[in-house]
Amino acid sequence: MAYIQFLGAAGTVTGSKHLVNTSSDQGGKAGFQLLIDCGMFQGAKEWRLRNWQPTPAPAAGIDAVVLTHAHLDHCGWIPRLVREGFRGPIYATPSTIDLCGIILPDSGHLQEEDARFYNRHKKSKHDPALPLYTLAEAEDSLQRFRPVQFEQTTQLSPEASFRFVPAAHILGSAMVELTLNLNGKVKKLLFSGDIGRVRDQHIAPGKVVRSGPTEGETADILVMESTYGNRQHPTDDPRPKLAAIIHHTVERGGTVVVPAFAVERTQKFLFMVKDLMESGQIPRIPVFCDSPMAIKAVEVFLKHSEECTDETCRLIRQYGSPLQWPGFTFALTSEDSKKINATNYPAIIVSSSGMVTGGRILHHLTQRLPDPKNTVIFIGFQAPGTRGFMIKSGVPEVRIFSDTVPIRAEIATLEQFSDHADTPELLEWLRTFTRKPATTYLVHGEPSASSLLRDAMQKELGWNVQVAEWMQKVIV
């Protein structure tokens, strides 16, 4: 029998990697081997260490990768897979490929920078500290990408074909409908990837990409994310609260620092700040976007504006490219970045990584966290074990580059920016299925979120639901 093996994002929200093997031999390679997503583990060390282990199925024996979207926890291990010998095609939507063209080289660059930093400061137990993969390896892996349009069927092998359908999570994001023809028996598997906000604009204000994951799905086996399996997002507009936070911080002469993913979340935040400024709801203070990747991402968004919401299209028409806005500075070089450190007047600094696991945000927080005049606003999910999670949870100090940084700045959180459906939205989406899947496996969630969503699905829908375990194999 064919099987699925959960190689990542089982028991955690990162490292998405699901192996599908059409073989009847559980240990062998007789069948076609496909990886749905190839994400990097982030967060707690226990998980991050798994980035250094080879896949249980040797990389050279994997025939293809199908990628749902361009977030690192779904695509960030691709260069390592190629380094380990993977030579097959990587299928993704055109906008996902454009975003990976930014995200993967940046990730390789960060890996190298971190290794250099640790070597210079002798702060690693490993001598020398090595990058998981290099910038050159990340760029090299891009050659394996093959564009596939939404709704187009692609034959992978005589027994396997797939289609992308919109997931409405970020630009280019897709669910994977995988059809297996196993000895004359057709099985349909649906891998949700990350699921975006369900149909609307008003409950996800400021969303860049159109809401509404594909409805009316059907599957024999559903493999579904459960990031917010225990949560209900606030339904109010975040703008008044954001304006109030910025006002208070400016009044006391402080700076607002926003850790944000460079792709999508940063663009969404910048559009919102621009709109608040133009409508006179916040003062016109300098805005620094300290992320070379965010600049490139703006260009990708403008290129694929057919996926943007009407609100985003209106803002683009009204204000043009964010790269041209007066008062908004996009820092490209590390010299530009250092100049931001020298500013001591009120400003807004947006920088990545979004979970404060690396990148230029580390330097901004080292400098701004000790001063009570400043405010740090979290607008994205913070995985347990990340610095972002610790700062958000109210710890008095945090370790950055092995230094202890006291936290005296105000810490604020805006939950409305989420690009993931919450529990009521997930249930609403599941109710549109034309029939119950025989089994649903929940992945991509902390254990408590996954088990609460399992309970809710069993109780409200009567579905057969299991929480996937890391390395577990399930028969298709």
Q: In what order do the strands lie in the sheet with 287-290?
A: 328-330, 287-290, 348-351, 256-259, 375-378, 410-413
d(CA 12, CA 226) in angstroms, rounded, equals: 10
Least Cβ distance, residue 72 to Zn ion (angstroms):
9
Whichever of 194 and 217 has its CB closer to Zn ion, that residue is 194
Name the one range near Zn ion by CB under 5 A: 35-43, 63-71, 128-136, 387-395: 63-71
Structure tokens at 133: 């993969």
Whichever of 71 and 274 has its CB closer to Zn ion, that residue is 71
Residue 8's closest CA among 81, 63, 115? Answer: 81
- Contact between residue 97 and residue 153 where contact means Cβ atoms under 8 Å apart: no
Name the one range near Zn ion by CB under 5 A: 58-66, 80-88, 188-196, 388-396: 188-196
Q: Does 304 bind Zn ion (CB under 5 A)?
A: no
Task: List Cα–Cα distances, 341 to 223, 349, 376, 433, in angstroms.
Answer: 45, 10, 15, 51
d(CA 64, CA 66) in angstroms, rounded, equals: 7
Whichever of 194 and 220 has its CB closer to Zn ion, that residue is 194
Q: Does 194 bind Zn ion (CB under 5 A)?
A: yes
Whichever of 108 and 193 has its CB closer to Zn ion, that residue is 193
Structure tokens at 65: 């990768």
Whichever of 265 and 454 has its CB closer to Zn ion, that residue is 265
Whichever of 98 and 112 has its CB closer to Zn ion, that residue is 98
Whichever of 22 and 192 has its CB closer to Zn ion, that residue is 192
d(CA 291, CA 359) in angstroms, rounded, equals: 9
Least Cβ distance, residue 13 to Zn ion (angstroms):
9
Phi, psi for residue 471 in degrees, rounded to 5: 75, 0
**AA identity, residue 297:** A
Please give the angle made by the CA atoms of 406, 409 and 411, to the nearest 5 degrees. Answer: 110
Whichever of 21 and 450 has its CB closer to Zn ion, that residue is 450
d(CA 264, CA 261) in angstroms, rounded, equals: 7
Q: Does 392 bind Zn ion (CB under 5 A)?
A: no
Whichever of 340 and 383 has its CB closer to Zn ion, that residue is 383
Least Cβ distance, residue 288 to Zn ion (angstroms):
25
Least Cβ distance, residue 304 to Zn ion (angstroms):
17
Query: Which of 2, 18, 66, 71 is close enough to bind Zn ion by CB under 5 A?
Result: 71
Least Cβ distance, residue 216 to Zn ion (angstroms):
23
Whichever of 13 and 59 has its CB closer to Zn ion, that residue is 13
Peptide bond before residue 353 is cis, with ω within 30 degrees of 0: yes
Whichever of 75 and 347 has its CB closer to Zn ion, that residue is 75
Least Cβ distance, residue 381 to Zn ion (angstroms):
9
**What number of chain residues touch Zn ion (CB under 5 A)?**
2
Least Cβ distance, residue 37 to Zn ion (angstroms):
10
Least Cβ distance, residue 336 to Zn ion (angstroms):
28
- Contact between residue 72 and residue 40 where contact means Cβ atoms under 8 Å apart: yes
Tell the burial category of 290 from Cβ atoms under 10 Å away from its Cβ (0-12, 13-18, 19+). buried
Name the one range near Zn ion by CB under 5 A: 51-59, 65-73, 124-132, 211-219: 65-73
Name the one range near Zn ion by CB under 5 A: 59-67, 186-194, 282-290, 334-342: 186-194
Name the one range near Zn ion by CB under 5 A: 89-97, 191-199, 232-240, 321-329: 191-199
Binding mask 117-136 for Zn ion (x = CB under 5 A): --------------------
Least Cβ distance, residue 228 to Zn ion (angstroms):
12
Least Cβ distance, residue 6 to Zn ion (angstroms):
17
Least Cβ distance, residue 167 to Zn ion (angstroms):
9
Name the one range near Zn ion by CB under 5 A: 58-66, 124-132, 194-202, 453-461: 194-202
Whichever of 72 and 289 has its CB closer to Zn ion, that residue is 72
d(CA 146, CA 320) in angstroms, rounded, equals: 31
Least Cβ distance, residue 171 to Zn ion (angstroms):
11
For binding to Zn ion (CB under 5 A), which residues are involved? 71, 194
